[in-house]
Amino acid sequence: MLIERTRSMSPGKSSGKMRPDCFLNLSIHYDVGDVLEVLPSQDPVAVDAFMKRCNLNPEAYITVQPSKKENSMGDTNHAPDIPVKLKTFVELTMDIASASPRRYFFEIMSNFASAQHEKERLQYFASPEGRDDLYQYNQKERRTVLEVLEDFPSVQMPLEWLVQLIPPLKTRAFSISSSNSAHPNQVHLTVSVVSWTTPYKRTRKGLCSTWLAGLDPQQRVLIPAWFHKGSLPSPSPSVPLILIGPGTGCAPFRGFVEERALQSKSGPTAPVLFFFGCRNEENDFLYRDFWLSHLQSGGVLSEDKGGGFYVAFSRDQPQKVYVQHKMREQSTKIWNLLAGGAAVYIAGSANKMPSDVLAALEEIISLEGGVTKEVAARWIHALEKSGKYHVEAWS
């Protein structure tokens, strides 16, 4: 209720429920293909530094109310206006140490700068002439709200402005990597721990992935979480599957394979083809032992079950090899499954991969089915309309 109440006060737009479905140490339920949203915790040191820099009393209690115009629109998510501790509000709603502020933030800051040189610098950043320099200073370096405020120490912004201008703390969405049937009361995630270096050699880390990676399993940590349907619906055990998931795109398909392995113990199941890709076999082969165990005789990916597991290691040879190349090598198998009513599931990076996979499928259907590319494209469109072509891609 505290999370619901606090986040409902935030002026940031919400796309769904404010109250978490659960904390991840309680009973949970989900289907394969579902998505888990996690609200990350912010660094307590950064929160304390922000409170000190902005002269905010962490023990104060506040309520934050929408303007009359917004209130008249009727926000059904809005919880009762019960005061919450200011520090709690900052922790749960204001992204102070990972998100970069917008240009308008600098414009408003200039109005509260008491040092003339800071005021002029901020006004320049907010002007059309200063756009390129602001990009170099702010977006390219991914400066955080806290860092910007510390760079302009004469600025003292009222809390009312900070609440409106600081980017809202957003939940992070992950494809679930497990079957609830195989792991009762557990949810598995495949998380790439984000870290990079800026042009000025600052080390930046992803807020949520770094926080998750640093959790101590021995400590009792409450993780606010929301479950919802993604774009990969849970398939029937009688439907053959063609799964394409390079990199962390393999995450949901680990759950698919776990679920089908359980289903195969109690009755017949349709074949599964899985195409996985990564840069190097030695460093990036996610869940290697898991896939290989299901490739053994009798496993859901095994050839004797009509399945298959094919890996493209893009950087282990002079010429780059991707999942679409492996798909073309197995064109007959893919065609046979498609002709038998298979569903196609694609997950992974949203750059070129989904369109490259689509082009490969069109080629395979054209080649194996003896039809034109236009007819092949219509075949895939028909698959999509019948609920047998699904893509979950992320940037």
pLDDT digits (tens, 9 = 90+) for 45-79: 999 999 999 999 999 999 988 766 555 444 555 55
d(CA 265, CA 270): 13
d(CA 56, CA 176): 39
Query: What does each C-alpha distance from 316 to 74, 277, 279, 321 come to in angstroms?
Result: 57, 11, 7, 9
What integer pLDDT is reported at residue 316 of this predicted model? Answer: 82
What integer pLDDT is reported at residue 6 of this predicted model? Answer: 82
What integer pLDDT is reported at residue 62 of this predicted model? Answer: 92
pTM > 0.85: yes or no:
yes
Burial status of residue 280 (CB atoms within 10 A of its CB: 0-12, 13-18, 19 or more):
exposed
Structure tokens at 186: 């557990």
d(CA 255, CA 382): 26
One pLDDT digit (tens) per residue for the chain, 395 residues? 888 778 887 776 665 677 777 776 557 899 999 999 999 999 999 999 999 999 999 999 999 887 665 554 445 555 557 899 999 999 999 999 999 999 999 999 999 999 999 999 999 999 999 999 999 999 999 999 999 999 999 999 999 999 999 999 999 999 999 999 999 989 999 999 999 999 989 899 999 999 999 999 888 888 899 999 999 999 999 999 999 999 999 999 999 999 999 999 999 999 999 999 999 999 999 999 999 999 999 999 999 999 999 999 998 888 899 999 999 999 999 999 999 999 999 999 888 999 999 999 999 999 999 999 999 999 999 999 999 999 999 87
What integer pLDDT is reported at residue 73 of this predicted model? Answer: 47
Q: Within 10 A of 159 (CB to CB), how many other CB atoms are there?
A: 17
d(CA 206, CA 67): 33
Burial status of residue 114 (CB atoms within 10 A of its CB: 0-12, 13-18, 19 or more):
exposed
What integer pLDDT is reported at residue 69 of this predicted model? Answer: 52
